[in-house]
Amino acid sequence: MSQVVDVGAECCIIELCAKSDRVDAFMKIAAPFGILEAARSGRMAMSRAAKLSLYESHDTPADEKEADSGPAPDLSHLPPS
């Protein structure tokens, strides 16, 4: 996926989310126009399960966890991964 984020008189910002080989190909195509700055990140993975706290104790009984955090969120409307 790519999109133009901003356009100015002398430059533009383009966001590109793709595999590494496609990003490399885009950089080669864009090089003659001049690349002032480029930032690349690596792969990301996000869990589909909701985790309410990084500091949640693993020895807390399940009924106490549910009482503290309320009902579990409905994840059925999220897009598939």
Is the residue at 7 inside a domain? yes
pLDDT in tens, 5-55: 899 888 888 888 888 899 899 999 999 989 988 888 877 776 666 666 666
Domain count, the chain: 1
Rg (CA), the chain: 21
Global pTM reads 0.49
Is the residue at 16 inside a domain? yes
User: Largest alpha-carbon pair distance within the chain?
Assistant: 62
Number of Cα atoms under 13 Å in the Cβ half of residue 7 = 2
Q: Find the domain containing 21 and state its range.
A: 2-33
